[in-house]
Structure 1
Amino acid sequence: MQIKKDSYLVTDPAGVWVIRITIPPYMKHLFGGKSYFIRSTGTVDIRKARLFRDRIAVEFNNLREQLRPKPQGSRIDQILGELRGISNYTKDAPPTQYSPLAQVQACPSLLSMRDIYILQFSEKRKLTTLSKTNKAVEVLLEYLKKRDIQLRDINRTTVTGWLDKLKTEKALQTIQNYISALAQIWDLARNRYHDAPQDNPWRGHGLEAKSSKVSYEVFTHAELAKVFAAMEGDEEMQNVTLIGMYSGMRLNEICSLRSSNIKEIEGVLCFEVTEGKTKSAARIIPVHSMIKALVLSLREKPYNGFLFYRASIIDRADGKRSTWHSQRFTRAKRKALGEQGTERKVFHSLRHALAQILDRGGVGRGKLKPVPEDRIALLLGHERGKTESFKTYSKHAASPVELQKYIELVSYEITE
């Protein structure tokens, strides 16, 4: 059996290669209902991992072929058999009176409602949002020690008990995400089904998650130089960091970049962010002259279309490609600056640093006028004001040439 070069192989956060094979529906009962067969190869050497993978994959595929359901007859024979079976049933079954109420479905279970919600909003919600919905349902059922449950069997007392437990384990924002996701499932059920709970037990808990958020702190140039030095030998992480410093992009936006996202617009080389955390995230950002050569070289040698190798091999249900890079940056920061007092200095701090520099009109350039606030918002992918003129008519008001002028105000001592 021929197996493609890196099929079934992914890496864990420590860089160890892991085998992950999708389990078909007809075999899930043999693996405890799991969707994937996952085993660590115990090695970071890709060649050894492939040899390990080959033996496991061959055995798994042999088992899959043995258990694959064998169709009886041709496709048309199967359909005809199904229809004949229904015909025989109707002949023997007693006649029934049609009733409109008989056509009304009962409210489904939690898992079924989750699937209905995801299907209905698959085109309207981001993959990361739908992933949070799925996670919320999983965590709740794990707490209840149930495989599934009817919505009517979950009351406010059940909910508050679960929330009290979560408060000892999770951040308030994470808990709020769970509550929001489950509340929307209940709302959808109430709107669709006559016997769904009319009271939503997920509303009105007042966690005040927004007030619990901790603001990020900006690195000093000296601190950033130490962090950058701690990444010595890790070229990919250094390149990701440089792009973050000179573009202000979110980490996952950088890791999601493909070679097709680097293009010339009106004669200016730009990053094109097509989607992101918010509706305003889609934008263009001129490439700073300090990283232009780097970006062009990355565009010429992509990995399955992506600028960065580690981002190209990550396969998560929520679509995020920045997990490995986030962990590597944190390790470098702790190695360079220690753990105490640096909790609020993270990769996202680079966005805040760029915004601060632009707001001050540059660094080390004397007293210059700050960059207009709406232009900073445009570069960072933030909402540009509340008025209709900004939200609708000014969406593409700034040209790449104008934005390039602002981006070039950004400078750091560690690379100059």
Structure 2
Amino acid sequence: MKAGQYVTELLTVSGLARRTIRRHLSSLSNLWLWVESKGAKLENVWHGHRLGKKKRGTERKGLSDEKVIKLLNGRSRSKLYGPLLCDLTRLALLHGARLEELCALKKADVTEREDGYWFVIGEGKTEAAQREIPVHPTAAKIIERRLKGEDEWLFEGLTPGGPDEKRSWYVSKAFGRFRAQDDVKVDGRLEDFHALRNTFIELMEGLEVAESTVKLLVGHKRTSMTYGHYSKGQRVNLREAIKKVDYGVEIMGSMES
């Protein structure tokens, strides 16, 4: 029963991709088989928890403007996570970064250059996830506030958790509780924090920002021969691309509130 609850939690709360969860469960099952091979008499509780392919219509999509406004104007009841979720939601909408990437940022990963602040993301799910992102002007106040203090982390006080001891594990759970609040109700199964990343990418496509440029911002691999093999994007003006991020007067106004 606990194994089943764990799998359900991974699917609904963790924000992990279905492929990642499938790989994780396979590793757990193989671990149980190895323990059995050493003579232990254990039931393989992970056997049978195989995840099939997604059904049509179950893909995660970007959020509507109405739902984005609900998230921005809502306030988490959690004293611990409320301020964190407020800042993280805005940073995700403005930059398309993954939750763990934001939670794992240290103050040393934020640099101030002539054109403003930049995030330096040193590791992630793939090699392409290692990148530098210009901070949107609207987020500058968040960064300046978070840089104060002596703790090395940009988002202080997070307890790692989950199978990979991620700093975002309990934050993801808190976001799930927040969006289910009666005054928010953005509680669809795939309307989780990762949907903010989809929202950013959909916005950039609508603004006609080149896909190859968006991939540099969100950390997706550029696979074409031209903009993958020959060019690594070193001359792309990412600052100008991030300046284009504009969800409209109402949403951008809520960002600053």
1:210 and 1:386, CA in 2 relative to 1: closer, same or farther beyond 3 A?
Answer: farther
Aligned length: 224
| Alpha-carbon shift at residue 258 of structure 1 (Å) | 0.5
Matches of 1:325 and 1:241, distance apart in 2: 11
5+ residue gaps, structure 2, are 1-19
Percent of residue pairs bearing the same amino acid type: 25
Tell which has more relative contact order, 1 or 2 (C-alpha 8 A, sep 6+): 2
> What residue in structure 1 maps to residue 120 of structure 2?
272
State how 1:25-174 maps to structure 2 within 5 Å: 132=24, 136-137=28-29, 140=32, 148-150=35-37, 163-164=47-48, 166-167=49-50, 172=51
Q: Deviation per CA, 1:368-411: give whole Å up to 9, x if none.
A: xx111100111010011232x43343224244xx2111112212
> What residue in structure 2 maps to residue 307 of structure 1?
154
1:228 to 72, 80, 85: 72
1:215 to 59, 68, 79: 59
Moved over 6 A (4+): 210-213
Q: Deviation per CA, 1:193-218: give whole Å up to 9, x if none.
A: xxxxxxxxxxxxxx5x4678932122
5+ residue gaps, structure 1, are 1-127, 142-146, 152-157, 173-206, 362-369
1:212 and 1:385, CA in 2 relative to 1: closer, same or farther beyond 3 A?
Answer: same
Does the CA contact (< 8 Å) of 1:263 and 1:269 recur in 2? yes
Matches of 1:306 and 1:374, distance apart in 2: 31
| Alpha-carbon shift at residue 331 of structure 1 (Å) | 1.1
1:265 and 1:337, CA in 2 relative to 1: closer, same or farther beyond 3 A?
Answer: same
Does the CA contact (< 8 Å) of 2:161 and 2:169 recur in 1? no
1:279 and 1:346, CA in 2 relative to 1: closer, same or farther beyond 3 A?
Answer: same
Root-mean-square deviation over aligned CA pairs: 3.4
Matches of 2:199 and 2:154, distance apart in 1: 24
Q: Which amino acid aligns with 1:220?
A: S
Matches of 1:307 and 1:226, distance apart in 2: 25
> What residue in structure 2 maps to residue 196 of structure 1?
none
Q: TM-score if structure 2 supplies the norm length?
A: 0.74
Matches of 2:108 and 2:25, distance apart in 1: 31
Higher Rg: 1
1:162 and 1:318, CA in 2 relative to 1: closer, same or farther beyond 3 A?
Answer: closer
Which range is displaced more, 404-413 or 240-249? 404-413
> What residue in structure 2 maps to residue 356 of structure 1?
202
Q: Deviation per CA, 1:132-185: give whole Å up to 9, x if none.
A: 4896158735xxxxx92328xxxxxx99x9643x24xxxx1xxxxxxxxxxxxx
Q: Deviation per CA, 1:33-89: give whole Å up to 9, x if none.
A: xxxxxxxxxxxxxxxxxxxxxxxxxxxxxxxxxxxxxxxxxxxxxxxxxxxxxxxxx
Matches of 2:165 and 2:61, distance apart in 1: 27
> What residue in structure 1 maps to residue 133 of structure 2?
285
Matches of 2:99 and 2:71, distance apart in 1: 16
> What residue in structure 1 maps to residue 232 of structure 2?
395
